[in-house]
Amino acid sequence: MGVLATSYPPSAGTFQPNIATSIMAPLLNFLDSTQSHFMVNVYPYFAYLADGGTHISLNFALIEPNTTGFTDANTGLHYSCLLDAMIDATIYAMKSLNYSDIPLVITESGWPSMGDPTEIGASATNAAIYNNNLIKHVNSQPPLGTPLRPGVAFDTYIFALFNEDLKPGPVSERHWGLFYPNMSQVYTVNVELDSQITTVSK
């Protein structure tokens, strides 16, 4: 998501000007010509953390049902979760360079189960809520898609399978996993075998 200059509202999504024509346009041309996917890491947690809970509610970030959300004034499309808004902002950024049909893969998404005192929202409860809601959202039948691409399924990968207990940085960096390094479970996530969602670790 760092390649975006603007992401709110989603219809205003654009790429950073210093890479839009020099890097993103040739990349998108390659993906389009080879019928490949644009891969994007979508982390509502980081958007929520950066906002400090000022404009983005926790429920909106956690994909909780019956969240008020917002309507994009430019398109009239309504967003009930931050994940969809971030995905569509990426699609609009591609559209701004005249690439409208490149499919997306969500290569990483997740929520930390622990964090520093300043890392608001990082908890095992919220991580379980987010990842379970993510699975339901992505695995819905028929596919929900997003307001801009309704009915379109997005292959999605959860980050991560294991906590990385030796990773440097803030506390949250060591607590994205579904399991501890000793293979005991951090919290329960319901992953169906025929699901379109996969857990990954790196």
Q: Tell me if 147 sits within 8 A of 84, measured CB to CB.
A: yes
- The whole-number pLDDT of residue 66 equals 86
Looking at residue 73, which CATH number applies to its domain? 3.20.20.80
Domain enclosing residue 59, as ranges? 4-200
Band of the pLDDT at 202, cuts 50, 70, 90? very low
Number of H helices and number of E strands within the chain? 6, 8
Q: Which amino acid is at 133?
A: N
Average confidence score pLDDT of the chain: 94
- The whole-number pLDDT of residue 38 equals 98
169, two tokens? 């940085």
> Is residue 12 pLDDT above 70, yes or no?
yes
Band of the pLDDT at 193, cuts 50, 70, 90? very low
Percent of the chain at pLDDT exceeding 70: 95
Average pLDDT estimate for 32-40: 98
Average pLDDT estimate for 133-139: 95
- Give how many domains the chain has, as a whole number: 1
Active site positions, annotated: 108, 164, 167, 173
